[in-house]
A and B are shown apart, each in its own frame.
Chain A
Amino acid sequence: MFLLEHDAKSLLALYDVPAPEGVLFDGVDIESAQLPQPPWIVKAQISAGGRGKAGLVRTANTQNELRAHLRAILGATHKGMMVRACRVEQQVTGVTEAYISFMVDPFSAGVRIMLAEFGGVDVEALAGTSGALRCAIVEPKIEVITAKVRELTKGLTFNIECALNDAGIRLAHAFIGAELSLLEINPLFVRPDGSWIAGDAKIITDDNAMFRQSGLRALLDSRAIAYPEADRKERHGCDYVVVDPDGEIGLLTTGAGLSMMLIDELREVGLRPYNFLDVRTGGLRGNPARLISVLEWIAEGPRVKVLLVNIFAGITDLGEFSRLLIESFSRVPQLDVPIVARLVGTNVESAREILALRDISLFTDLDKAITQVRKHLLHA
């Protein structure tokens, strides 16, 4: 999961990584907040790059300016994401900017280290400047990473060499300790005396390691509102993403790849799916709770006019699944839309009988099911 900058810096603080003092705002009520000394930098908290160019990072010298910037940035959208919060932090001056990152390198099963004497620009830009970026891939062990950082920094301007070496040690502890997939400090602010502070922080965590990452777990529990998808997965055991708030087709689907492909194909022919879902039928175990939750979420879609159920079950008994489905529908009356079901797998015939009781027609051919969805949309 991609951590917002504010949370990335909070996590890094557990590993003694210094960052400018900062406060998180989801509104413009700045009077009651413990603000650091001005001037401030106001930074939109979203999980997409290019914030600076999009005008979502601004400098404020007075409280009025600060309020105006917050008003302008909060609620803005960038790359399809709405800004729900801003981090306001003290501006750092009198520094130069460097770059360092650690990243899981899947193919070599190692850690890719990248560092540069210059920072503040995209790593792609650094890579394009001849000799600017120094890289290596090493075994994922703290002592191996820090030794390689020492080697890579040799010959850099002395204060930057000192800063990157110290950063390398702290960041390697964070990377291995918190089991991160990506950790990037860009820019890393370096003072003339070789001390340093993280200007920005980009982190991708591993959801699968959460069970043994209590620090990260506690941090995210307190910030569940900022990560609705991850929180949902944690609590309900399924993946759900609203892909189009104005979408007209609710999707009850299993399997990430097939669900993505279905969305692609529906959009290709001009239809508007509302959500992505991998409900994981194998994990239902006779309990309708997850299906009920999913139907409740889909019912929140203001323009959802039809529900398409698409399950290709390798293992799941479709008769049992259909019984759960019928029970779940009766518990979510607010989802008052026609239902089209396409099921393939074990026990289709019993599924057909059960669904017929609710006047739901069952298809085994996906294209025919989509044609039926179209008919319902025309009549809606």
Chain B
Amino acid sequence: MITINNIGKAYNGQIVVDIPQLQIEGGIVGLVGNNGAGKTTLFRLILDLVKADRGEILSKEKPVTIQEEWKQYTAAYIDEGFLIHYLTPEEYFYFVGKLHNHSKADVDEFLQTFDAFFDGTILKSGKYIRDLSKGNQFKTGIAACILQEPEVLLIDEPFANLDPSSQIRLKQMLKELQEKKRMTILISSHDLNHITDICSRILLMEKGKIIKDIETSDDTLSELEDYFKV
């Protein structure tokens, strides 16, 4: 699905991403690493929002920098910069839906499945997205991603702003999406418990490099905890 060939990116002489070779193909893949490890930049590189200094990223064998096809099957939520803050959540969902040829009725139907996740605080709230809390903004963003029925889904720090119930619901949702729709999901997180819980594969990043590529097993959590121990 996504192939990374010798990609490198540096800001002011400091290396943020340096990955010789990486293949991501199906499953839920977790990205862990301390701040500044390059997780978000890697996401942005995959979405062609940042220009690489060298190397290339292929999505379905096509470089993301040249063609725009990947936009049709890739959905992402990195930060509030992915939301249109002066729209109501509904307007935003309809907009995203239309970009993927979903009618208003389709979107309404889809949103019903999110009732529990939204907890009655997002739809018909009478607020623009900019006035929602961070957690609700995030929920809006993630719902808009899933609405697109993508083949590739990228989410940066999904658990950071969510309350515990929503975290658990989100984990279930992601697992289901992966199982039913064979989505390739790439998430980054600082929460080792969650990430070892749902990911089949975990990439550990340090200073832009992927220093460990782990097939998740029962020992993974303690392995990661050992690494992060100061």
B and A form one assembly: no
